[in-house]
Amino acid sequence: MTHSLSKNIFLVTVLTMVILYLFSETYLQTHAGSGGYIGVKKDGVDSVDGLKGTRDVAISPDGNFVYGAGNGDNAVAVFYRDPSSGVLSFVEVQKNDIDGVLGLQQPRSITISPDGNHLYSAAYISDAIGLFERNESNGTLTYIDHYQDGVGGIDGINGATSVIVSPDGNHVYAAGYIDDAISVFTRDSSSGDLTFVEVQKNNVDGVLGLKRIMAVEITPDGSHVYAVSWKNDALSIFSRNVSSGSLTYLGLLQDGVDGIDGLDGAGALGISPDGNNVYVIGFNENSVTSFSRNSVTGDLTLIETLKDGVDNIDGLDGARSVKVSPNGAYVYVAAETDDAISVFSRDSSTGALTYLDVFQDGVNGVDGLDGAISLSISSDGSHFYVGSYVENAIAAFQSYSLLPNPPIGIVATAGNGQASITWNTPTSPITFYTVISSPGSITA
């Protein structure tokens, strides 16, 4: 019997039946083809340059431009972003040792100031933080200066691997992988110029958990800074003086200590927009671990650890980056071994995660995720972008934040009679539905 999917009521003869209906934008990859996948920009294709060995992706606060750090190109590539479609168009590239640009040898991290006026880069080989002025109209960058370890009293950014700007725009924090340290700078909001304040180093003045530091993040309220350590398998906690920007070490959580799990090879962290939760990926455990946060003390309490291959979770093998959507409803993890992005829904009350789906390179038309290592979400929550160092690419996806969130199962028991199943007409078209009966067969 033929059905019209435009109807939202139908009759089936069953013993026990379950109707699963799936929206084209809800179960994105596994059940709806390429689903949320938009497209990919690759180094050397269609005049795109600067994405060789892509290590990080940043989006301007106004959402109009996307920036990629090309570790192999010693470069930052600039793209215009269509706010409606999410499609990217190449604009320009800034490369080390070209047109006076310095301090950009192997950029591992890039970030944009909250006012959108400046872009900062952390370059591993240059041991430096680069400063670029940003044209808000066309997204182009102008090199201003760089701040190098060991020059002018600056310390702590040998092997610079991560850089962030405080929410108030007054301070910049950078992680030095080789120095096992966090460097603190004040920022001039007009010029973007940085002034070195202090350094927090592993095993100095009681500071622990910074051995081979991978990333540093700051809470939305600006009161605490957290860092993850690859070698210590740890998450370190600092309070922040909002006036001076200086940090005070508070303690750490370490894998295998006091019941903590999921921090083996801690490589990245994300903080929810409400500041209530911190999420950490464990590269060696193929995991994402959730913590609740005390906003006053900064203390963290373990909620759970989710691991690849457990409870049908997929896409966490070689987890490298984690981000929370602007509305706090979803958490995304980029995994370089699985060449994938896994998607989780987030309980806003508890912070707990529920696995939803996975986007994987080469599956259902998805491209550009080979070596997925970083991701960034647009401020309006409509799209996310993934940097892949093997594929030298930035891949674009429609975000779950825009998608409907219907139930995926309706159960009706009708003996040997008829059951009428009704659902509200969705905002997105139904691609198909599946009817499962037990025991026996059904007609629909």
31-40, 289-298, 410-419: range with lowest mean pLDDT: 410-419
Cβ atoms of 12 and 418 closer than 8 Å: yes
pLDDT classification of 3: cutoffs 50, 70, 90? very low
* End-to-end CA, the chain: 7
Closest by CA position to 279, among listed 340, 344, 231, 223: 344
d(C-alpha 59, C-alpha 272), whole Å: 17
> Averaged over 409-433, what is the pLDDT?
50
Would you tell me how many other CB atoms lie within 10 Å of the CB of residue 215? 26
Task: Output the pLDDT for position 321.
Answer: 98
Query: Tens of pLDDT along 158-184?
Result: 999 999 999 999 999 999 999 999 999
Query: Tens of pLDDT along 330-344?
Result: 999 999 999 999 999
d(C-alpha 329, C-alpha 352), whole Å: 11
Residue-averaged pLDDT of the chain: 88
Task: Output the pLDDT for position 439.
Answer: 52
What percentage of the chain has pLDDT greater than the value 70? 82
- Looking at the chain, the number of H-run helices and the number of E-run strands are 1, 33
- DSSP conformation letters of 344-363: EEE-TTT--EEEEEEEETTS
Query: Tens of pLDDT along 229-278?
Result: 999 999 999 999 999 999 999 999 999 999 999 999 999 999 999 999 99
- Output 39 or 13, whichever has higher pLDDT: 39
For the entire predicted model, the pTM comes to: 0.85
pLDDT classification of 388: cutoffs 50, 70, 90? very high
Q: How far is CA 142 from the centre of its chain?
A: 26
Closest by CA position to 431, among listed 406, 397, 400, 402: 406
H-type helices in 113-214, by residue range? Answer: none
What stretch of H or E contains 30?
A: helix 28-31
The pLDDT of residue 5 is above 90: no
Task: Output the pLDDT for position 254.
Answer: 98
The pLDDT of residue 8 is above 50: no
Task: Output the pLDDT for position 399.
Answer: 87
Closest by CA position to 110, among listed 89, 88, 131, 86: 131
pLDDT classification of 17: cutoffs 50, 70, 90? very low
What percentage of the chain has pLDDT greater than the value 90? 81
Task: Output the pLDDT for position 405.
Answer: 47
Query: Tens of pLDDT along 185-201?
Result: 999 999 999 999 999 99
Task: Output the pLDDT for position 383.
Answer: 96
The pLDDT of residue 14 is above 50: no
pLDDT classification of 35: cutoffs 50, 70, 90? very low
pLDDT classification of 415: cutoffs 50, 70, 90? low
Task: Output the pLDDT for position 108.
Answer: 98
Q: How far is CA 199 from the centre of its chain?
A: 26
Query: Tens of pLDDT along 83-133?
Result: 999 999 999 999 999 999 999 999 999 999 999 999 999 999 999 999 999
Cβ atoms of 352 and 305 closer than 8 Å: no
Distances (CA, A) of 190 to 64, 116, 194, 252, 385: 21, 11, 11, 36, 29
The pLDDT of residue 59 is above 60: yes
What stretch of H or E contains 31?
A: helix 28-31
Instruction: Return the structure tokens found at 101.
Output: 């640009």
Q: Kindly list the strands in the beta sheet with 234-240, ordered across the sheet, starting from the edge strand earlier in the chain.
A: 213-218, 224-229, 234-240, 247-254
Cβ atoms of 367 and 40 closer than 8 Å: yes
**Candidates 3.40.50.880, 3.50.50.60, 1.10.260.40, 2.130.10.10; correct CATH number of 27-403?**
2.130.10.10
The pLDDT of residue 155 is above 70: yes
**Preceding omega of 114 cis (within 30 degrees of 0):** no
Closest by CA position to 120, among listed 152, 138, 144: 144
Distances (CA, A) of 309 to 99, 285, 344, 355: 48, 11, 15, 12
Query: Tens of pLDDT along 301-329?
Result: 999 999 999 999 999 999 999 999 999 99
pLDDT classification of 143: cutoffs 50, 70, 90? very high
Task: Output the pLDDT for position 419.
Answer: 56
Q: How far is CA 31 from the centre of its chain?
A: 23
The pLDDT of residue 228 is above 90: yes
> Averaged over 142-162, what is the pLDDT?
98
Instruction: Return the structure tokens found at 114.
Output: 């909250």
